[in-house]
Amino acid sequence: MTSPASSPRAPGCVSDLELDELLAGDLAEQPREAVLRAHVDGCARCRARLAAFSAVEPPPAATMLPRVVRAAATPRRVTRWRLAAALMTLGAAAALFAVRLRPRGEPGAGPEERTKGSLALVVFVKRPSGVVDIVTGGGTLHPGDEMRFGLAAARPGYAVVLGLDAAPSVTVYAPYAATGAAAPPIRLERAGTTTLPGSIIADATAGAERIVAVVCEAATAPEALRARALAALTAASGDPARVSSLGTGCLESSVLMRKEARPR
Amino acid sequence: MSGWHGLDRVYELHSRSVYRRALQLLGDAEEARDATQEVFVRVMRAGGAVPADPTPTAWLYRVTTNLCLNRLRDRTRQQGLLASKYTVDAEVRPAGETRAAVAQVLARVPEDLQDVAIYFFVDGLTYDEIAPLLGVSRRTVSNRLSAFRDLMARLFPETRSAS
């Protein structure tokens, strides 16, 4: 099964792993890099192997990363993240918190999460205790919890995050406009992962709330998307859990949060 | 590296080697894509941190190899893989007609012997290269390969001794 993906190693030649390390830059400025480079430069076979390796095209990040984020939320296990670095995305300065990946529901198909196209919404929920839950399928929200939003998008565009509750009402969560003035959608310069600026503090209103991220190719006014969301919510009899799509024609991904009183 | 922002960077640097490794072992582009996704899901669940010891690529290589071996539990496919991969080596030179038998053996051996055998026979790595990759001593690598060879010799006495 020899192919560009594999290459029998001749005696004295560098291994596949070493070729991969060279290409990934793992050995930068290490003495071993110079040794391996010298061998490759003088070995036609290894040069050909290196060229074949570098020609391998992995799945594009733009399509893979949203899949990874959604798959990471499968309910197989709960992982406790101990890295403060992960919290830098939450603007948590140098504080050390435990971060929990809180899986709820099957990715992309369950009743709680609804995704159209290659977009994944992640909700970072910071509890008063300092623990941060990373929610991608659905989760629970208590009064005083602080939410921030992350997106893994397959393409650049303009992002808006909306909150649909059972009032029924729709609130623009991002972009955040402190003065109530109309704010433009948030520009995503490139495909990949982004943490949106600003945070939302949960109020004491109980019930379901669907948080929907929309990424459009063209800059679409948040107010226009809010109107679409309100129409969709009305069509669902005011039940956020029953809203499957806003019908925007853009990338959409949502998380269903259940707001309830904090356990005593 | 953060679990969220860092994922982009980790993917950019290492997705090619992960996918290549998966394609090498699985021989199927669609399965290799799935395996690649699975590897990066593990990275994200681990907080986006890829251990740098011995190198990030080596750590991902090991994770990818283990995941692919899990996918290759199907005995028929395992046999096919090893039958085609059990190449002539300076230390082990099984006759061509015994390769299928070797593949059958590998399908029966414990997991901790399987990955050593893959690294040694398929990848052509040396004991010294396998040891840090698996986080074990060189002696452990040697012992596991000896156990593998013993098993092979017991089940297939016609197979030539490995050393």
Please write the tens of the pLDDT for every residue from A144-169.
Answer: 898 989 888 888 999 999 999 988 89
CB B163 within 8 A of CB B149: yes
Phi–psi pair at A252, nearest 5 degrees? -135, 145
Task: Please judge whether A17 and B61 are an interchain contact, meaning their C-beta atoms are less than 8 angstroms apart.
Answer: yes
User: What's the CA gap between B125 and B38, in Å, rounded?
Assistant: 25
Q: Closest by alpha carbon to A128, among A211, A208, A201? A: A201
The residue with tokens 């590296």 is B1
Task: Please judge whether B14 and A24 are an interchain contact, meaning their C-beta atoms are less than 8 angstroms apart.
Answer: yes
Tell me which DSSP letter residue A7 carries. Answer: -
Task: Please judge whether A24 and B81 are an interchain contact, meaning their C-beta atoms are less than 8 angstroms apart.
Answer: no
User: What's the CA gap between B13 and B58, in Å, rounded?
Assistant: 13
CB A43 within 8 A of CB B63: no
How confident is the prediction for chain A on average, in pLDDT?
78
Smallest CA–CA distance, residue A209 to chain B, in Å, is 24
Q: Are strands A114-116 and A119-126 parallel, antiparallel or unpaired?
A: unpaired
Q: Residues 15-44, chain A: which have Cβ within 8 Å of B? A: 15-17, 20-21, 23-27
pLDDT band at residue A93 using 50, 70 and 90 as cut-offs: very low
CB B67 within 8 A of CB B43: no
Residue A1 touches partner B, C-beta closer than 8 Å: yes
Residue in chain B nearest A87 by alpha carbon: B2
* DSSP string computed for A24-53: HTTTTTSHHHHHHHHHHHH-HHHHHHHHHH
| Tens place of pLDDT per residue across chain B (163 aa) | 345 567 888 999 999 999 999 998 888 899 899 999 999 988 887 777 788 888 999 999 999 998 888 777 655 555 555 555 544 343 443 334 334 444 555 566 777 788 888 888 878 889 999 998 888 999 999 999 998 888 777 766 655 544 3
pTM above threshold 0.90: no
Q: Which residues of B touch A87 (CB under 8 A)?
A: 2
Please write the tens of the pLDDT for every residue from B92-138.
Answer: 433 343 344 445 555 667 777 888 888 888 788 899 999 988 889 99
User: What's the CA gap between A218 and A220, in Å, rounded?
Assistant: 6
Smallest CA–CA distance, residue B121 to chain A, in Å, is 10
pLDDT mean over A24-40: 92
Residue B4 has its nearest CB partner, among A9, A67, A193, at A193
Q: Are strands A99-102 and A132-135 parallel, antiparallel or unpaired?
A: parallel
CB atoms within 10 A of CB A130: 13
Residue B114: C-alpha distances to residues A231, B93, B151 (Å): 58, 18, 12
Contacts of A219 (CB under 8 A, 6+ apart): A158, A184, A185, A187
CB B57 within 8 A of CB B19: no
Q: Which residues of A touch B125 (CB under 8 A)?
A: 15, 17
pLDDT mean over A253-261: 90
| pLDDT for the residue A5 | 57
